[in-house]
């Protein structure tokens, strides 16, 4: 378990991303095929049974569809408020901070009876300043609408500004959700990771398996990419040239995995959540019970310093 930022909220090192719960709705939700309600229920139950205690969703994932499906899956799995924590996100593109205030009741309604334990600004693309967004978030926190405040995809400078504004109100920024994995290590170089460690801000790594690239599946069977939804096939991560470039890393992960009787994805996730103390947590998604159970196995996998160094070296090109 980890402390979420400087809050009193305890989260597991792995959460479950529920972008896949969008039912293929809207442009963003179209990355994934629709899942049956029973499958979503079983995925959520398996996550909780495996030691995962929180779920990440968003307004943009099917215009609230993922939020509603997550709440229904939790209830169908026999869970009640307090049994699981939920993080969601406000979609700020071409919106002002007033829209954040106007839509919070919609977020609460979509997730009911579960609380908004972490509310995040999904992108740094609001028409309002970071200062106005954070003051609005602080108002929601003080009104009891949300339990903690986060941002997503914010630069080190914007993240620090958000934290400064909140601290002036007697609060603190809990998290910055950013892309981070062995094939996307920019936050180690652009100041985000360093600033987060200094301020006690949790880094939530989205796409921690690079949409499946770090499972080794597409290296073993490149033709399987043709079975993916169209939007995922177009993603940069699945270009054939990147498969070739990342093959040495996958081979190193396979060697480490074999020594632990683990999977490639478990090793990749373990490297991510155990290489920076308690600062980094990750939210791999899952489209099946087997996937969430396998991912959760990374919670119990510990890599040696030599193994981490070998993985770092193999991923140095990224």
Question: Among candidates 10, 42, 17, 111, which has minimal Cα distance to 290?
Answer: 42
Do 181 and 209 form a contact (C-beta atoms < 8 A)?
A: yes
pTM: 0.94
| 72, HSE (Cβ side, Cα atoms, 13 Å) | 14
Per the residue annotation, which of 21, 61, 206, 238 is the catalytic one?
61
* pLDDT for the residue numbered 244: 86
The sign one gets for the Cα dihedral 297, 299, 303, 307 is: positive
* pLDDT for the residue numbered 222: 77
31 is catalytic: no
User: What pLDDT digit, counting tens, does each position of 121-155 carry?
Assistant: 999 999 999 999 999 999 999 999 999 999 999 99
Q: Average pLDDT for residues 162-166, to the nearest whole number?
A: 98
Mean pLDDT of the chain: 93
User: What pLDDT digit, counting tens, does each position of 84-120 carry?
Assistant: 999 999 999 999 999 999 999 999 999 999 999 999 9
Distance (Å, whole) CA 238 – CA 235:
6
User: What pLDDT digit, counting tens, does each position of 254-266 carry?
Assistant: 999 999 999 999 9
* pLDDT for the residue numbered 221: 79
* pLDDT for the residue numbered 93: 96
- Percentage of residues in the chain with pLDDT exceeding 90? 85
* pLDDT for the residue numbered 197: 98
Backbone torsions φ then ψ of 32, nearest 5 degrees: -130, 150
| Fold type of domain 2-214+275-288 | TIM Barrel (3.20.20)
pLDDT higher than 70, residue 236: no
Reported confidence tier of residue 317, pLDDT bands at 50, 70, 90: confident
Beta strands 2-3 and 10-11, pairing class: antiparallel
Q: Average pLDDT for residues 217-241, to the nearest whole number?
A: 69
Strand partners of residue 55: 16, 86
Distance (Å, whole) CA 200 – CA 281:
13
């Amino acid at each position: 378990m980890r402390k979420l930022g400087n809050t009193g909220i305890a989260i597991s090192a792995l959460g479950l991303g529920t972008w896949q719960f969008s039912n293929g709705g809207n442009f963003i939700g179209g990355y994934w095929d629709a899942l049956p309600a029973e499958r979503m229920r079983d995925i959520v139950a398996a996550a909780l049974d495996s030691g995962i205690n929180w779920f990440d969703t968003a307004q943009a994932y099917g215009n609230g569809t993922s939020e509603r499906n997550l709440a229904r899956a939790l209830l169908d799995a026999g869970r009640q408020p307090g049994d699981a924590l939920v993080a969601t996100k406000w979609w700020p593109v071409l919106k002002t901070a007033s829209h954040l205030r106007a839509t919070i009741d919609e977020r609460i309604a979509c997730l009911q009876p579960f609380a908004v334990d972490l509310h995040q600004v999904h992108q740094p693309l609001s028409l309002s300043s970071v200062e106005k967004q954070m003051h609005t978030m602080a108002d929601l926190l003080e009104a009891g609408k949300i339990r903690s405040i986060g941002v997503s995809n914010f630069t080190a400078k914007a993240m620090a500004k958000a934290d400064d504004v909140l601290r002036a109100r007697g609060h603190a920024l809990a998290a910055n959700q950013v892309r981070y994995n062995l094939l996307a290590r920019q936050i180690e170089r652009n100041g985000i990771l360093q600033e987060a460690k200094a301020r006690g801000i949790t880094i939530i790594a989205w796409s921690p398996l690079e949409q499946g690239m770090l499972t080794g599946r597409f290296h073993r069977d490149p033709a399987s990419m043709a079975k993916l939804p169209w939007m995922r096939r177009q993603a940069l991560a699945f270009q054939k040239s990147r498969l070739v470039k990342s093959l040495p890393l996958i081979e190193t992960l396979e060697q480490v995995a074999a020594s632990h009787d683990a999977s490639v994805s478990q090793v990749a996730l373990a490297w991510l959540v155990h290489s920076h103390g308690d600062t980094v947590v990750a939210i791999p998604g899952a489209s099946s019970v087997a996937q969430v159970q396998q991912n959760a196995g990374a919670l119990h996998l510990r890599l040696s310093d030599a193994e981490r160094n070998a993985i770092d070296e193999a991923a140095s090109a990224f």
